[in-house]
Every structure is written in structure tokens, then in C-alpha cells.
């Protein structure tokens, strides 16, 4: 994949094989193109000056855009974090915060109790030496009360750790479930425009990779980040309590730490994204090689695929190596800051102890916390960088969730819709103009038509004439600008969307069958009897095929109906439409991808089994609508011709007759 020059550099053997197939005309065209490219254009001085000014203004604009991009990249995505916290709920979030604060407060209290215990033991030993105790009982120090308090605090700490862990996991589970359900609801209710403008791979990634990150990684990273932050704050608080002079030296260290983390987060986020982007081609190439191993060996291209695999592996390893180097870079600088913290804490603690009788236990406690500051700072910055990358998943999912859904509620309730509607299948279209999106031009312009009950209508036209848009408008999948569509006298814009779409049957160019039984594919709602199902299969001329299968109606259909031919799948869809007993059937180029024999069966079934129903056929082959009662010829979203096919064929200058002559 790539340009011809890329293939020549990367795959010389393959290029030589292609080169032998190039004809002389291609070489002459290439030579002529090169000659034209060597012609020197002539410019005036004013033109050159204008281009220089434009180049300067473009450079200035690019620099402003670069600064804005850098500011955006160094900003923590607080909106995504707020979305994540809101999804956790108002009751669970305070429990998580309270349990974290209580747990770390208790951990500091345990350390203070140990420092106090140590100071009392040292003081007791010094007092015993000064009193020259002769009896062991007189010199004995009672540890029981201190031990009981210490054990009680430790037991309470274990309980709080358990509560905190449960709160974190519960929060992650709740957020993941809430976002996934909202995402699924959005996709189900989303307009068709979303699927036309959004690649399918992006939607699948929201449900797979992004949801997995929200479910598995963000809770762990959030817990590590909060723990490291609270431990660092506790360490600074303890050191400041022991030696208040430490706060003076804390400010320059905090400024240095801020700039280091700001510099690291941008690089770390980009390197993580680079690692992810280089991993996908590696896995894709590996899976493609496994699937096409027979073909690769048959053409003896093992070395080419091996070379490509090594290139993808090297690219992924390089990005991983740079990411590890960036982490080591951060770790070294955090160690430097930690060393300064220990030095300042030691100097201020010793000075304070010499001047104000500070206990040895508190001095040791302050130095112990100072030794751990560098480790806490390192994990804070690394977890913060990881959290930024992971919150991007929340941002992408949230962006898709905020997609405006279709208007499912109509002015009429389902109870107000007449029973058995539509009974006759009369379609009245008045001055209809529709478009796919508010930012696009209309695809149907002032269309008016009257389709009588039971009439067979054929619609034809060139690509882009609005044929398929006609059927989409009946299902209310497009935005209506003006006009209306009335079916049996009821404006479809007033109907609930589910009620409207459940009353029609449609057969598309690509037949849709689901994994399950034949019974389920014919009657998903389980409203028809076996006799009705067999009758539908007999009408569609599929009864011998189904009877030959083990299980009959309970025979399994593989995914997409791959165990049936294209024509058989189309006939199954026709049988399903017959079972539904819909008074209106829409066939959107249903015969475009089947053979002539199956097309003949399909046309015969439509004319006999659906004789009393309204059928709208959008034709790919014009001869398929020659037997229709009325033919509509469309062009540029408007009705160009509307009459019986015999009448249009008699008019030699009509567009329909030209289509028929071209189709022969």
C-alpha cells in the first residue's frame, strides 16, 4: 500500500514484477508528464511580493495555531474527568472521597503514634539511667497500652483499605455500565446520518477499546493517582509540622516539579499514542500473514512478509523504548527533587531539634516521610500522564453519547393510531422536500405523487437522482424541510417512529439474515403459526430447501445467512415480508445482486402473493418495472416523468423509453 515510489523502495521484487506489465503508452505518458513539469513558470515582481506576504501571514497563523495546540495539549481534560465523576453518581462519589481521606488520615495517625511510642520508650530509658534503677521492675516500661492502641488503629486501617478498594471497584463498574448503556442507547436511537459520516471502525472502537479502558484501566489509575497524591500531601504536611521552616524551601521545589511534570506529560501522552498506533499495524500484519499463509508460500514471498514484520516490530519497539526512556528521565529528576527534600528536611529537623527540644521520634518520622517524597512525586506525574490518555476514551465516548437522537415521539400516541393501520396502503405525497442533514442540500425537491391502494409503482433514474431517498423518506430517516407524506390519510410526521416503521416491510439489495433458526428469521416476534411460515416458504419457493435441512424450521442460519446463496437469502426476506402481512412493501434495488432466474421468481411472487398490497419498487434493471402500474422517473431529486409504462414507451423522446432501449 502506498505510492509507486514507496513500493519500489520497500518491495523491489514486487516492483520488478509489475514493471514487466507496464506498456509503452504508460511510459510515453510518464515522459510527457515529466517534460511538462520542467517548464519554468513566469511570475511578475508584484506576484512574488504578494506571495511573500501571504507566506509570512501563513507562517504567523501556523505559529499561533501551534501555540494554541500546545496550550491545549498541556491542559488537563477536566471536562472529561467531570463526566467520569458524574457517571459515578452523587452517593458513591462522596463515599469514595471520604474513605480515601479517612484511610490516609489514619495512616498518618499510626505513624504519629509509633513516633510518640518511640519517644516515650527513649525517654523512659534515659530516665531509668538517670535514676540508676537497681530493680528490673522499677525500670520496666509498660508497652501494653501502646500496643493495644496500635493494634486497634491497624485493624481500623485494614477495614478502611477494604472499604476504599470496594468503593474504587464499585465506582469503576458503575461508570463503565452507565457510559456503556448511554452509548448503546445513543447508537440505537441515532439517525442514519451518524452511520454515513462516522466510520464503522470508530464506532466499534468506542464499544471495545475505549469501553475496556474505562472499565479496566481508569479505576486503577485513579486509585493510584489519589493514593500517591494523598501520600505526598501527608508527607509534606508531616515534614512541615515537624519543621515549619521546610515550607520556605518548598516553594522553589514545587515550581521545579510543576515544570518538569508539564514537560513530561506532553511527551508521555504522545509516546503512548505512538506506541498504540505502531502496535495495530503489527497485529494486523501478523493476522493477515496467518490467514494468507498458503498464498504467501505459493508465491514464495516469505522473505517479503518477514521483512515487513520486522519493520513493524522495530517501529513498535522504538516507541516502547522511547516511552521507557521518558519514564527514566522523569524518575531521575524526581530523585533529584527528592534528594533536595531529604537534605532540607534533615537540616531543618536537626536545627529545630537543637533549638527547641524536638523529640527523636518526630525527627525520625519527618526524615522517613522525606525519603518517600521522590517516589510519590514520580508516581503522581506518571499516573497523571496515564490518566490524561485514558480520559481521552471518556471524551470520545461522551462525544458520541451527545449525538442528537431521532425524534421517536410523535404528536399521536400509539393508542391514537387506528387499529390495523395502514389498512389500504394509500400513499399521498404533497410538495415534499427532504435532506440528509441541516447542513446539506435537499435530495428531494417539491415531490408530489399519489399511489393508490394495491398499486405497483416502479421508480427509476440515474445514480444520485433520489430513488433511495424516496424510500428513506417513507421511513422518516431524512429531515423534512416542507411538505408531507400521508398514508391512509394520516401524516406520518405525527406518528411515533416505532409505530411507523413497524408497519412497513422492505427488501434491500443486500439481504439481511440473523444468526438463529429459520423460524426466528421469518417471524422474530413469534406471532405466526407454523402453517403460516410454511405457506410463506411455499410462496417464496423455499419449501424444498427448508425441508431438506435437518430440523426444518428449527434449522440454524449462520451469521449473515452464509449457508444460503444470495438469491435464497433474498427469497427468505420476501417470505418474511409476506409473514408480516404489511400493506406496503418497498423493494430497494432488491434484484440488483441476484441472478436472472431468482429475479424471475421474485417478480412472480410479488405479482401474485402481494397482488392486493401496495408495492414500491426501486429498479436497478429497468425491465423489472415494465409490469408496474405506474412508473416514476426521477432526476436531481425531482419527478421528471410519472405515468403508465406503456404510455411512456410510446413517447420515443421520453427518458424512460431511453432507459429501456439502453437496458436491452
What's the grid cell of residue 265?
Answer: 506529560
263 CB contacts (<8 Å, ≥6 apart)? none
Rounded to the nearest integer, the mean pLDDT of the chain is 81
Residue 97 pLDDT: 81
Residues 489-499 have pLDDT tens digits of 899 988 888 88
Phi and psi, residue 93, nearest 5°: -65, -45
| Inter-axis angle of helices 144-189 and 78-88, nearest 10 | 100
* Spatial separation of the C-alpha atoms in residues 60 and 605, rounded to whole Å: 69
* Spatial separation of the C-alpha atoms in residues 147 and 113, rounded to whole Å: 10
Check: pTM over 0.75? Answer yes or no.
Answer: no
Q: Count the neighbouring beta carbons within 10 Å of the beta carbon of residue 268.
A: 23
Residue 314 pLDDT: 93
Residue 23 pLDDT: 47
- Angle, vertex CA 442, rays to CA 438 and CA 445, nearest 5: 145
Q: Is the pLDDT of residue 370 over 90?
A: no
Given a contact cutoff of 8 angstroms between Cβ atoms, the answer to whether 107 and 234 are in contact is yes
505-520: string of b/e by CB count within 10 Å (b at 16+)?
Answer: bbbbbebebeeeebbb
Q: Count the neighbouring beta carbons within 10 Å of the beta carbon of residue 502.
A: 13
Residue 317 pLDDT: 93
Indicate the DSSP class of residue 629.
S
Alpha carbon 578 to its chain's center: 38
Q: Which of 150, 352, 98, 365 is nearest to 237 (CA)?
A: 365
Residues 133-160 have pLDDT tens digits of 555 555 555 678 888 888 998 899 899 8
Q: Is the pLDDT of residue 59 over 80?
A: no
What DSSP string describes 365-395? HHHHHHHHHHHHHHHHHHHHHHHHHHHHHHH
Q: Which of 66, 135, 149 is nearest to 106 (CA)?
A: 149
Q: Which residue(s) pair with 486 in the sheet?
A: 428, 491
Q: Is the pLDDT of residue 109 over 90?
A: no
Residue 431 pLDDT: 92
Residue 51 pLDDT: 44
Helix/strand/coil (H, E, C) string of 158-196?
HHHHHHHHHHHHHHHHHHHHHHHHHHHHHHHHCCHHHHH
Q: Percent of the chain at pLDDT above 90?
A: 12
Residue 191 host element (H or E) = none
- Calculate the CA dihedral of residues 254, 258, 260, 264 and round it to 10 degrees: 150
Cis, peptide link before residue 584, omega less than 30° from 0: no
Residue 36 pLDDT: 39
In the numeric block, the cell 480515601 is attached to 100
Q: Is the pLDDT of residue 20 over 80?
A: no
Residues 269-308 have pLDDT tens digits of 888 888 878 887 888 788 888 888 888 999 888 999 999 9
Q: What integer is the mean pLDDT of 639-661?
A: 88
Residue 39 host element (H or E) = none
Q: Count the neighbouring beta carbons within 10 Å of the beta carbon of residue 582.
A: 19
Q: What integer is the mean pLDDT of 199-215?
A: 84
Given a contact cutoff of 8 angstroms between Cβ atoms, the answer to whether 587 and 507 are in contact is yes
Given a contact cutoff of 8 angstroms between Cβ atoms, the answer to whether 394 and 84 are in contact is yes
661 CB contacts (<8 Å, ≥6 apart)? none
Residue 31 pLDDT: 44
Q: Which residue(s) pair with 643 in the sheet?
A: 631
In the numeric block, the cell 518548598 is attached to 250
Residues 414-442 have pLDDT tens digits of 888 888 888 888 999 999 999 988 888 89
Residue 180 pLDDT: 92
Q: Model confidence at 599, in pLDDT bands (50, 70, 90)?
A: confident
Residues 516-533 have pLDDT tens digits of 899 999 998 888 888 999
Go through the domains of the chain in sequence order and give each one's CATH number.
78-131+143-401 (1.20.1560.10), 421-663 (3.40.50.300)
In the numeric block, the cell 522517613 is attached to 368
Q: Count the neighbouring beta carbons within 10 Å of the beta carbon of residue 194.
A: 16
Q: Is the pLDDT of residue 42 over 60?
A: no
Residue 43 pLDDT: 39
Residue 486 pLDDT: 93
* Spatial separation of the C-alpha atoms in residues 244 and 262, rounded to whole Å: 28
Alpha carbon 594 to its chain's center: 35
Residue 183 pLDDT: 92
Q: Model confidence at 181, in pLDDT bands (50, 70, 90)?
A: very high
Q: What integer is the mean pLDDT of 175-194?
A: 89
State how beta strands 427-435 and 556-557 pair: unpaired
Residues 230-267 have pLDDT tens digits of 888 888 888 888 888 788 878 888 888 888 888 888 88
* Spatial separation of the C-alpha atoms in residues 164 and 256, rounded to whole Å: 32
Indicate the DSSP class of residue 494.
G
Given a contact cutoff of 8 angstroms between Cβ atoms, the answer to whether 230 and 100 are in contact is yes
322 CB contacts (<8 Å, ≥6 apart)? 271, 274
Residue 334 pLDDT: 85
* Spatial separation of the C-alpha atoms in residues 523 and 83, rounded to whole Å: 42
What's the grid cell of residue 578?
Answer: 409476506
In the numeric block, the cell 531509668 is attached to 128
Out of 11-20, 204-213, 573-582, pick the least confident. 11-20
Residue ranges of alpha helices (H) inside 38-91 are 45-73, 78-88
Residues 308-342 have pLDDT tens digits of 999 999 998 998 899 899 888 988 888 888 888 88
Q: Is the pLDDT of residue 390 over 60?
A: yes
Instruction: Kindly calculate the radius of gyration of the chain based on its CA atoms and give it in whole angstroms.
Output: 38
352/292: higher pLDDT: 292
In the numeric block, the cell 520497500 is attached to 10
CA dist 659 → 37, 444, 510, 626, 649 (Å): 44, 21, 24, 11, 10
Amino acid at each position: 500500500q502506498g505510492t509507486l515510489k514507496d513500493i519500489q523502495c520497500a518491495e523491489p521484487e514486487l516492483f520488478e514484477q509489475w514493471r514487466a506489465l507496464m506498456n509503452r503508452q504508460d511510459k510515453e505518458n510518464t515522459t510527457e508528464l515529466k517534460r511538462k513539469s520542467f517548464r519554468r513558470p513566469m511570475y511578475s515582481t508584484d506576484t512574488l511580493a504578494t506571495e511573500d506576504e501571504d507566506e509570512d501571514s501563513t507562517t504567523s497563523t501556523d505559529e499561533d495555531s501551534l501555540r494554541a495546540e500546545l496550550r491545549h495539549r498541556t491542559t488537563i481534560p477536566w471536562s472529561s474527568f467531570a463526566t467520569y465523576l458524574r457517571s459515578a453518581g452523587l452517593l458513591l462519589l462522596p463515599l469514595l472521597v471520604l474513605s480515601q481521606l479517612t484511610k490516609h488520615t489514619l495512616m498518618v495517625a499510626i505513624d504519629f503514634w509509633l513516633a510518640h511510642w518511640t519517644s516515650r520508650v527513649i525517654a523512659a530509658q534515659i530516665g531509668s539511667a538517670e535514676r540508676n534503677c537497681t530493680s528490673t521492675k522499677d525500670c520496666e516500661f509498660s508497652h501494653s497500652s501502646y500496643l493495644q492502641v496500635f493494634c486497634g488503629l491497624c485493624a481500623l486501617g485494614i477495614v478502611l483499605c477494604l472499604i476504599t478498594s470496594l468503593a474504587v471497584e464499585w465506582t469503576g463498574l458503575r461508570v463503565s455500565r452507565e457510559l456503556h448503556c448511554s452509548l448503546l442507547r445513543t447508537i440505537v436511537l441515532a439517525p442514519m446520518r451518524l452511520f454515513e459520516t462516522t466510520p464503522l471502525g470508530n464506532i466499534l472502537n468506542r464499544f471495545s477499546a475505549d469501553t475496556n479502558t474505562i472499565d479496566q484501566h481508569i479505576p486503577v489509575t485513579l486509585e493510584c493517582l489519589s493514593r500517591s497524591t494523598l501520600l505526598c500531601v501527608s508527607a509534606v504536611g508531616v515534614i512541615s509540622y515537624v519543621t515549619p521552616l521546610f515550607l520556605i524551601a518548598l516553594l522553589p521545589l514545587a515550581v521545579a516539579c510543576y515544570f518538569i511534570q508539564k514537560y513530561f506529560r506532553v511527551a508521555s501522552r504522545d509516546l503512548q499514542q505512538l506506541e498504540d498506533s505502531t502496535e495495530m499495524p503489527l497485529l494486523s500484519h501478523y493476522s493477515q500473514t496467518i490467514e494468507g499463509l498458503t498464498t504467501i508460500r505459493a508465491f514464495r514471498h516469505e522473505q517479503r512478509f518477514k521483512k515487513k514484520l520486522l519493520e513493524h516490530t522495530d517501529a513498535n519497539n522504538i516507541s516502547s523504548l522511547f516511552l521507557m526512556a521518558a519514564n527514566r528521565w522523569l524518575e531521575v529528576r524526581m530523585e533529584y527533587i527528592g534528594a533536595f527534600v531529604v537534605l532540607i528536611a534533615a537540616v531543618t529537623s536537626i536545627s529545630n531539634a537543637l533549638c527547641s527540644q524536638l523529640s527523636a521520634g518526630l525527627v525520625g518520622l519527618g526524615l522517613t516521610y522525606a525519603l518517600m517524597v521522590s517516589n510519590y512525586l514520580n508516581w503522581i506525574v506518571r499516573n497523571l500522564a496515564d490518566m490524561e490518555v485514558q480520559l481521552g476514551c471518556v471524551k470520545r465516548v461522551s462525544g458520541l453519547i451527545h449525538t442528537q437522537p431521532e425524534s421517536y415521539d410523535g404528536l399521536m400516541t400509539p393508542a391514537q393510531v387506528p387499529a390495523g393501520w395502514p389498512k389500504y396502503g394509500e400513499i399521498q405525497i404533497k410538495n415534499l422536500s427532504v435532506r440528509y442533514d441541516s447542513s446539506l442540500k435537499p435530495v428531494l425537491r417539491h415531490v408530489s405523487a399519489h399511489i393508490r391502494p394495491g398499486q405497483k409503482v416502479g421508480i427509476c433514474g440515474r445514480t444520485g437522482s433520489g430513488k433511495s431517498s424516496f424510500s428513506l423518506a417513507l421511513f422518516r430517516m431524512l429531515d423534512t424541510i416542507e411538505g408531507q407524506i400521508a398514508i391512509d390519510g394520516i401524516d406520518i410526521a405525527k406518528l411515533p417512529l416505532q409505530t411507523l416503521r413497524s408497519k412497513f416491510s422492505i427488501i434491500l439489495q443486500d439481504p439481511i439474515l440473523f444468526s438463529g433458526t429459520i423460524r426466528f428469521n421469518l417471524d422474530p416476534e413469534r406471532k405466526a403459526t407454523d402453517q403460516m411460515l410454511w405457506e410463506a416458504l411455499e410462496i417464496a419457493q423455499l419449501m424444498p430447501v427448508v425441508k431438506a435441512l435437518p430440523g426444518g424450521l428449527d434449522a440454524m442460519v449462520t451469521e449473515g445467512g452464509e449457508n444460503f446463496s444470495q438469491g435464497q437469502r433474498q427469497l427468505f426476506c420476501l417470505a418474511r415480508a409476506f409473514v408480516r402481512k404489511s400493506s406496503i412493501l418497498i423493494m430497494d434495488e432488491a434484484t440488483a445482486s441476484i441472478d436472472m432466474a431468482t429475479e424471475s421468481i421474485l417478480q412472480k411472487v410479488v405479482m401474485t402473493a402481494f397482488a392486493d398490497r401496495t408495492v414500491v419498487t426501486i429498479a436497478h434493471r429497468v425491465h423489472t418495472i415494465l409490469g408496474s402500474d405506474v412508473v416514476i422517473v426521477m432526476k436531481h431529486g425531482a419527478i421528471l416523468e410519472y405515468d403508465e409504462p406503456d404510455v411512456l414507451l410510446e413517447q420515443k423522446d421520453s427518458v424512460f423509453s431511453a432507459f429501456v432501449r439502453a437496458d436491452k
